[in-house]
Structure 1
Amino acid sequence: MPTGVAMRDARRQLFDAAERVLLRDGPTALTSRAVTTEAGCAKGVLHRHFSDFDDFLAAMVLDRVTCIERQSEALHDASGAGTVAGNLADALVVLFDSVAVSIVGLVTFRDGLRARLRQVRPTGVPVLAEATDMIAMYLRAEQDQGRVAADADVDTLAPTLIGAVHLQFADRESGPPDTEAVRNVVATVLAGALPH
């Protein structure tokens, strides 16, 4: 690998490279060597920015959490427009069509990464916990506008939606579901929660 060549935003380039490896080859293939090879840099670049590989992976997961937090703001801003089921289906497709499903697998696969993440986020599975919060916050905003029934159990609906759609996307054999399949699941879960 070349040395002495400046990388613009090395952290971002390393995260992007890791996500490509993760999506293409799965969590077992994600090593520091695979990441730096994919990024086209020397292995020392990763260790110049992170104390070890689990530190790098934890930072990558937390970077993805930040992306979900931005998506959460956009979904919240959509409350009152479109349809509740449509807004949720679109948000869930964006969420799970990204690297999120692979990151959940990575967190499950690596004990050291889980331990590192527990120091920062002691409860829940990172990415899934933030996604659940995003859905719950949106549903509450729609409740405030009367577009979700006042007695709807948002704290049950949110993880139900996350779990059901996550299972659709987690099937690596048949590929991701189409948007219509996600819309059907969302509509089914929300059937009793939307005013007629």
Structure 2
Amino acid sequence: MPTGVALRDVREQLFDAADRILLRDGPSALTSRAVTAEAGCAKGVLHRHFEDFDAFLAEFVLDRVDRMDAQTAELRESAGTGTVTANLAGALTALFGSVAVAIVALITFRDELRARLRRTWPAGVPVLTEACIMIASYLGAERDLGRIAADADVDTLAATLIGTGHLLFADRTGAPPEPAAVRKMVAAVIAGVER
């Protein structure tokens, strides 16, 4: 591995390398050596910036959760435009087409990572929990606009959409579901509340 190479924004380079490995090879391939090789730096670089590999992974997961803020804002701003079904289907496809599905598998795969995440994230799987918040916020905005029923339980609907969406996208080695399948699932979940 190269040594003495100046790296700009080392954390981001390492996180991006972890993204690529997760998407390409899955959580079992994610090692400190694989990350540093993918980032094109010496293994010691990772350990200079993080206490250990699980500390790196915990910060990586939380960074990817923080990146969902832009998607949350974009979805919420779409309230009142297009159709509720299309907006939700697009958001779920973007979410699960990203590294989110692989992060869920990674958290499930690594006990120490789960333990570290519990220190700052006491319940749920961070990416999925944040996705539920994003969907519930959007549904709340649509409820305020009268496009879904006033008595709609947006938290339960959000959890149902995230859980069912995760099942549709869970096989990272297969082809993603067709857009029509995602829209059909969303339409079925919100059928009783969409106006």
Q: Distance in 1 between matches of 2:36 and 2:185?
A: 39
Q: Secondary structure at the match of 1:3?
A: coil
Q: Secondary structure at the match of 1:149?
A: coil
Q: Distance in 2 between matches of 1:168 and 1:75?
A: 20
1:184 maps onto 2:187 in alignment: no
Which aligned pairs between 1:1-196 and structure 2 lie closer than 5 A? 1-195=1-195
The residue identity in structure 2 corresponding to 1:98 is S
Q: Distance in 2 between matches of 1:174 and 1:99?
A: 15
The residue identity in structure 1 corresponding to 2:129 is A
Q: Distance in 2 between matches of 1:172 and 1:4?
A: 36
The residue identity in structure 2 corresponding to 1:30 is L
Aligned length: 195
Q: Distance in 1 between matches of 2:67 and 2:184?
A: 26
Contact 1:58–1:116 under 8 Å retained in 2: yes
Q: Which runs of 5+ in 2 are unaligned?
A: none
Q: Secondary structure at the match of 1:127?
A: helix
Q: Distance in 2 between matches of 1:137 and 1:18?
A: 29
Q: For 1:14-35, what per-residue CA distance to the aligned partner results, in whole angstroms no more than 9, with x for missing partners?
A: 0011111111111111100010
The residue identity in structure 1 corresponding to 2:126 is P
Contact 1:69–1:130 under 8 Å retained in 2: no
TM-superposed CA distance for 1:54, in Å, is 0.6
Contact 1:36–1:46 under 8 Å retained in 2: yes
Q: Distance in 1 between matches of 2:88 and 2:22?
A: 26
TM-superposed CA distance for 1:173, in Å, is 4.6
Q: Distance in 1 between matches of 2:33 and 2:171?
A: 27
When residues 75 and 107 of structure 1 are mapped into structure 2, their CA distance, relative to the original with a 3 A threshold, is same
What is the TM-score of this pair, normalised by structure 1? 0.97
The residue identity in structure 1 corresponding to 2:150 is A
The residue identity in structure 2 corresponding to 1:188 is A
Identity in percent: 68
